[in-house]
Amino acid sequence: MALNKAAAYGRAEADKARFNWQAFVRMARTLLPHRKLLIVGVVMSIFYAAFHSVSILGALPILKLLLEEEGLHGWVDRTTAGMRIGALVVVEQQDDPDNPIALVVARVDSGSLAAEVGLSGGDRIVSINGERATPRVLMQSIANADTAADLSLKARDAGDEAVIQGTIRPAPLPWEWRLGRQMVGLLPDGQSPADRMSALTLVLSAVVALVILANASRFVSEYALGRGVMRAMMDLRRSLYEKVLRLPMSRFSRDTGDLVSRFIQDVQDVQRGMMSLFGKSIREPLKGIFLLATALFLDWRITITMLIVTPLAVLFFWWVGSKIKKANRKLLRGYGDMVGQLSETMSAISVVKAYTTENTERKRLWQLDRRMFRQQLKLVRLDAAMSPTLEVLGVVVISAAALWLGSRVIELEMDPAKFGTLVVLLGMMTDPIRKLADAYTKVLRSSAGADRLFEILDAEDETQVVQGRVNVDNVATDIRFAGITFTYPGMDTPALQDINLTVARGETIALVGRNGSGKSTLVNLLPRFYDPQYGCVTVDGQDIREVNLKSLRKLIGLVTQETILFPISLADNISYGSRNGSRERVIDAAKRAYADEFIRDKPQGYDTVAGDMGRTLSGGQRQRIAIARAILRDAPILIFDEATSQIDSESEKKIQAAVHEFAKDRTTFIIAHRMSTIRDADRIVVMDAGRIIDIGPHDELIGRCKLYRGLCETQLVE
């Protein structure tokens, strides 16, 4: 039944699964207090992307030095010379024995300076300002010409018949090419093997330096972002824990394992998502942008190929993202169910072993694990499909671009080194897309976790319920339960029906009845663990819903049947919740609860750590620690809910004497199954099916109340 209910809940949540922008923005806002670290991380990501892209551009001069005879300097001179006159010029071998090599115009841009003076494809530039020179010198003359100087060009046409002569004023170079010429000018300009090797060494050294700077920037970026995100997650867990501690008791009547899962699994998913959001989601697009800018620097037509893949990738991201969000919400719910199942089994391990139901519990956990396996497998399948699909898409686009670029090389419109560099840049641009896909899935999964976290953070807590600002510090007259009717959330049958009870200050009331008659529910209304749907509880005529909740609970000392101890020292357990818990007062309270005698036998005495849930102590010892805690609190209202159920008869007599003495002038509620515990109560309240059947002292009830008499014979143990 529980598994079917959990599965139905998971289906309902999955049906609502969608990318919640509001939750996403709130999730990002948790990082605002640590924005300095985020700014450092983002700035260093920009530096990383810039250094990385420039280092990739280093492939171009390396290829020029290794593959092409003209070398790096010759390529820069030829390219800048062509840019300044608006033509593509190349150095070609000629049949003319007087001029075996010539500077040939391969292509003239329409409307350019070269077109204005009559140059066309196939023409050879033979001189500048009347001086004939080698192609290298001619290119340098054009590239280095002052923008205010006129150059007189002389060229022969393709048939070497006519002479074309004109004056041209070279256009200014863009700043990036001026910078490039200055940087290339720092390298040796010789064509000998030694000069080319020296230039190659310097270029490679620069590339290595850029790679070091890029990765140093990446380290600082990831460290700063990681530190900021983890500190934000600490803040988030602290806020979540503070909120959970203030949730109404009705929230804890449901699956607490789900709450634990939100602390662990959901926060981890949010952390991974935030790391990806401010890490890969910023760094990889920046890297792609800088790589694209570098490719545009070499050839702007590359943009066309990138525009082909972008819409396809966006559509694919959207489709996979919707699937991941749904699967992850179901998986997170499964984690909550599993944590709850494990907690229940571990806490009841003695019962499991005693009743030899290990196989039953194993099967229950296996069913949960199998359901989680299906959701995890779906996420693995989607993750596994994301990168290969994008990689195939990228290879197809790159191959198409490579064919186009290769045709330009064959037609002499592009040199091999530039072709190789562009292909490298295209290949490198698929890497940010692939990594961005991984980041996208993590951000989506974190969005599902954020939905669940904000569901808790937005829930109404006890400080937001209707309450007044009245502070109370004592009980002057009485406590009244007037017309109380209460039904637990999700239940149809009322746990309490039309309860009317007045308890005078200093009076001791014992509550008896069958299991489920409403005894514990009634006393749980007093500290406002729950609020009745009808009627009210008053202290000195003041409705407790108009009383400050903290001041109300300070009036109450509580000892429950299920004794709760914390993994701290015994002294700290006794002084838990008491501001004035000095060691002397702790010892005094322990003596009055008859706990001092066994505490001193411990190796570390009062500094002995109680262990998880106090399991290092016996049941009776744990209850005596809890009673000492209530004594030290020194509250005017005492609630003992089966507080002596696990104490032997001899200790019970001592504790009863201590409680009797301590309860003087205090309003006390006792729920017990021992006659000796309730017989001395001022009045006994007999309850059945959420109603009060009778009220009176023991001697009167034994004579007139059939239910009470039956309880005395069957349940109230002497």
- The larger pLDDT score, comparing residue 188 to residue 351, is at 188
Which token pair is 223?
A: 């460290």
The one-letter amino acid code at 350 reads S
Are 274 and 354 in the same domain? Answer: yes
Q: Which of 190, 209, 237 is the last residue of a domain?
A: 190
Residue with tokens 């700290």: 572
Q: How much of the chain exceeds pLDDT 90, in percent?
A: 4
Q: Does residue 15 surpass a pLDDT of 70?
A: no
Residue 683: domain span: 507-517+549-714
| For range 658-674, the mean pLDDT | 79
Are 321 and 428 in the same domain? Answer: yes
Please report, for the domain that includes residue 164, its CATH number: 2.30.42.10
Are 83 and 129 in the same domain? Answer: yes
Q: Does residue 607 surpass a pLDDT of 80?
A: yes
Q: Does residue 2 surpass a pLDDT of 80?
A: no
CB burial of 127-161 (b: ≥16 within 10 Å; e: otherwise) equals bbeeeeeebbebbbbbbebeeeeebebbbbeeeee
Q: Give how many domains the chain has, as a whole number.
A: 3
Are 555 and 684 in the same domain? Answer: yes
Please name which of 361, 359, 360 lies closest in space to residue 340, comparing C-alpha atoms. 361
| For range 253-260, the mean pLDDT | 65
Split at pLDDT 50, 70, 90, the class of 188 is confident
Please report, for the domain that includes residue 340, its CATH number: 1.20.1560.10
Q: Does residue 418 sit within a domain?
A: yes
Q: Does residue 537 sit within a domain?
A: no
Lowest mean pLDDT: which of 283-292, 503-512, 634-643, 668-677?
283-292
Residue 320 to residue 313: CA distance in whole angstroms: 11
Summarize pLDDT for 41-88 with one digit per residue, the tens. 889 988 888 888 887 777 777 777 666 677 778 888 888 888 888 888
Q: Does residue 580 sit within a domain?
A: yes
Q: Does residue 222 sit within a domain?
A: no
| For range 691-707, the mean pLDDT | 88
- The larger pLDDT score, comparing residue 459 to residue 98, is at 459
pLDDT score for 480? 92
pLDDT score for 258? 67
The one-letter amino acid code at 383 reads D
Please report, for the domain that includes residue 590, its CATH number: 3.40.50.300
3 state SS for 40-51: HHHHHHHHHHHH
Q: Does residue 59 sit within a domain?
A: no
DSSP for 217-240? Answer: HHHHHHHHHHHHHHHHHHHHHHHH
φ, ψ (nearest 5 deg) of residue 470 = -70, 130
pLDDT score for 12? 36
Sign of CA dihedral 136, 137, 139, 144: positive
Q: Does residue 203 surpass a pLDDT of 70?
A: yes
Are 35 and 100 in the same domain? Answer: no
Q: Does residue 161 sit within a domain?
A: yes
Are 372 and 239 in the same domain? Answer: yes
Are 239 and 291 in the same domain? Answer: yes
Distances in Å between the Cα of 593 and the Cα atoms of 130, 572, 659, 670 are 117, 16, 8, 16
Q: Does residue 501 surpass a pLDDT of 80?
A: yes
Are 414 and 366 in the same domain? Answer: yes
| For range 645-650, the mean pLDDT | 62
**pTM: predicted TM-score of the whole model, two decimal places:** 0.62
Residue 355 to residue 348: CA distance in whole angstroms: 11
Are 298 and 433 in the same domain? Answer: yes
Summarize pLDDT for 24-34 with one digit per residue, the tens. 777 778 888 88
Are 639 and 577 in the same domain? Answer: yes
DSSP for 274-331? Answer: HHHHHTHHHHHHHHHHHHHHHHHHH-TTHHHHHHHHHHHHHHHHHHHHHHHHHHHHHH
Q: Does residue 482 sit within a domain?
A: no
Residue 644 to residue 655: CA distance in whole angstroms: 8
Are 36 and 78 in the same domain? Answer: no
Distances in Å between the Cα of 607 and the Cα atoms of 194, 567, 594, 629, 662 are 80, 11, 17, 15, 26
Q: Does residue 480 sit within a domain?
A: no
The residues that bridge with 233 in the sheet, in sequence order, are none
Are 369 and 235 in the same domain? Answer: yes
Return the ∠ at Cα 589 (arms to 503 and 472), rounded to 5°. 40
